[in-house]
Amino acid sequence: MLESTKMVAFGIVAMCLDYCNSLLYGTSTDNLRKLQVTQNALARVVCQAARTCSAAELLCQLHGLPVKQCIDYKLAVLTYKAR
């Protein structure tokens, strides 16, 4: 039950981060870094992990992608559907 609650909570907030993120393609690394920090903090809060815990491992547990990869994936899916 706790696992599904974590997934739903992460999904709802991550959806807000992902909304129209394909517009961020080509943006500065500073902007991507800020979004990544937000996503890392979200993963730590949802998993109730310490600040020193690796966010990459938490994202993997939550089946999430880092911000840059999420943007690339969304563009690839949109391009595939358009073709």
Nearest to 69 by CA among 15, 34, 37, 22: 22
Give 64-79 as a DSSP string: ---HHHHHHHHHHHHH
12: number of Cβ within 10 Å = 9
41-66 pLDDT, tens digit per residue, is 888 888 888 988 888 888 888 888 89
Helices 29-47 and 2-18 pack at an angle, to 10 degrees, of: 160
Q: What is the pLDDT of residues 12-39, one digit of tens each?
A: 877 877 777 778 888 899 999 998 998 8
If pLDDT is split at 50, 70 and 90, which confidence band does 8 have? confident
- Rounded to whole angstroms, the Cα distance separating 18 from 11 reads 10
DSSP 24: G
